[in-house]
Structure 1
Amino acid sequence: MRANLLHTEPMFYYFAYGSCMCPVDLKRSVGEKTHVYAIKPAMLKGYRLGFYGYSPLRNCGVLDIIQDSAATVEGVLYQLPWRLSERLDEREGIASGLYRHELVNIYSKGQLYKNVRTYVVVNKLAEELAPNDWYCDVVIRGAITCGLSEQYCWNLFNHMYKLQQRHWQPQVLRSA
């Protein structure tokens, strides 16, 4: 079915590195199954991840990519129908100025994909802001489901966990 879609409607490549890696969560926003459009694991060279965005909708820190010549970001490469573009932009907060498009080169299955759309935080925070548990769960679920490397998944989980520990120290209840 996917091969027929490729020939019958305009498509675009999209690199997801955060919550959109999870096809179930992406479906919630774009209104249809997206796993059929996943090319699967991909790499963005020359960038690193960081939680330099704040999502009012999620009330927590959200992922961003930052240029870093020594780093690589793993994610998922999708080939999506153009008709989903507006809904994806809405999900990423383009109109409200949360994210903007950036065209990047992506490597997947030994092939280079040029001018692939991804999203970058517009007004980066001065320091990373911890994600909430829900966001962490969606990101990790997407990373594992789409087959990112085990080491990358562990590093991502550890990074999120450490941010939560630093930013959300539990309140000690005192007896009256």
Structure 2
Amino acid sequence: MIKSEIKKPNTFLYFAYGSNLWSFRIHINNPSAEFISIARLDNYRLDFWRYSKFWGGPTATLVATANSHVWGVIWRLNSENMADLDEQEGVHNKIYYETYLKVFTPYMGAFTCRVYVQKINPLPRGDNDPIPVEQWPSWTYKEVIIIGALEHEFPEYYIQLLEKIKHNEEKGCFKMFCLLRRFSRDKPCECRVPGRIPRKPLKLNLRLKRMKRKKMHP
């Protein structure tokens, strides 16, 4: 695909850097999404903020940071699906706001894309500052991001950075996503399971996390 073929009438470009890196995830709510290229956003860092009950931890956001960058994916969507994307990102609930930023592709130059950033972001921090447990994503959310990065063959060093991100051990909606992923390939099982399946409640115990952290880093 050459650069002149990227922009089409009644479409827009969207830069994803969180869970929507994974093509399976974005197509759940946005079936018209078409992969264009991986891309790099300069002078921003990837961070996690604002707890999501759905994911079991904070979700991804961009924080302006000099000499940092974030890798992501450019998707092309039909303009009629913009409202669906806004709804998924919680724009109407004032969780994220939309903006337009220039990102750089490896082979096709720069593109200005629609990007979503959280309304309230964490404060700047130094490279060696400890990351508070409130900013640790869930295990599931982190895995979804890594799956997307592997799927689209991000640079190896960036995948290693994603793998080093600490998580809060919560599973969030992982079971539901496993079922969706399976049913997207296979016919669902029609067996009847008697009774209810007991499930341990998923809770984020911040006090326990802090105590464990103090023991690890006295």
TM superposition score normalised by structure 1? 0.81
Q: Tell me how far 1:125 sits from its aligned partner.
A: 4.6
Alignment-mate amino acid for residue 10 of structure 2: P
8 Å CA contact 2:138, 2:167 repeated in 1: no
In our comparison, the structure showing a higher alpha carbon Rg is 2
Q: Tell me how far 1:157 sits from its aligned partner.
A: 1.5
Q: Tell me how far 1:140 sits from its aligned partner.
A: 0.7
8 Å CA contact 1:50, 1:64 repeated in 2: yes
Give the number of the structure whose residues are more often helix, by fraction.
1
Give the secondary structure class of the aligned counterpart of 1:139. helix
Alignment-mate amino acid for residue 135 of structure 1: Y
Give the Cα–Cα distance (whole angstroms) in 2 for the partners of residues 41 and 74 of structure 1: 7
Alignment-mate amino acid for residue 14 of structure 1: Y
Give the number of the structure whose residues are more often strand, by fraction.
1
Structure 2 residue 154 is matched with structure 1 residue 148: yes
Give the secondary structure class of the aligned counterpart of 2:74. strand
Runs of 4+ with deviation above 3 angstroms: 3-7, 125-128
| Identity between Structure 1 and Structure 2 (%) | 25
Give the Cα–Cα distance (whole angstroms) in 1 for the partners of residues 57 and 65 of structure 2: 24
In the TM superposition, what are the counterparts of 1:55-94 in structure 2 within 5 Å? Answer: 55-94=52-91
8 Å CA contact 1:53, 1:125 repeated in 2: no
Q: 1:112/1:62 Cα in 2 relative to 1: closer, same or farther (>3 Å)?
A: same
Corresponding residue number in structure 2 for 1:131: 137
Give the Cα–Cα distance (whole angstroms) in 2 for the partners of residues 164 and 57 of structure 1: 14
Which of 162, 165, 168 is the matching residue for 1:164? 168
Give the Cα–Cα distance (whole angstroms) in 2 for the partners of residues 6 and 105 of structure 1: 15
Q: 1:84/1:5 Cα in 2 relative to 1: closer, same or farther (>3 Å)?
A: farther
TM superposition score normalised by structure 2? 0.66
Alignment-mate amino acid for residue 70 of structure 2: V
Give the Cα–Cα distance (whole angstroms) in 2 for the partners of residues 75 and 137 of structure 1: 15
Give the Cα–Cα distance (whole angstroms) in 2 for the partners of residues 41 and 6 of structure 1: 16
Corresponding residue number in structure 2 for 1:11: 11
Q: Tell me how far 1:109 sits from its aligned partner.
A: 2.9
User: Which is worse superposed, 50-59 or 136-145?
Assistant: 50-59
| Alignment gaps of 5+ in structure 1 | none
Q: Alignment RMSD, CA only?
A: 2.7
Alignment-mate amino acid for residue 16 of structure 1: A
Give the Cα–Cα distance (whole angstroms) in 2 for the partners of residues 66 and 26 of structure 1: 22
Alignment-mate amino acid for residue 98 of structure 1: I
Which of 94, 108, 111 is the matching residue for 1:113? 111
| Alignment gaps of 5+ in structure 2 | 124-131, 170-205, 213-218
Give the Cα–Cα distance (whole angstroms) in 2 for the partners of residues 10 and 62 of structure 1: 30
**Would you say how many aligned residue pairs link Structure 1 and Structure 2?**
162
Q: Tell me how far 1:42 sits from its aligned partner.
A: 0.4
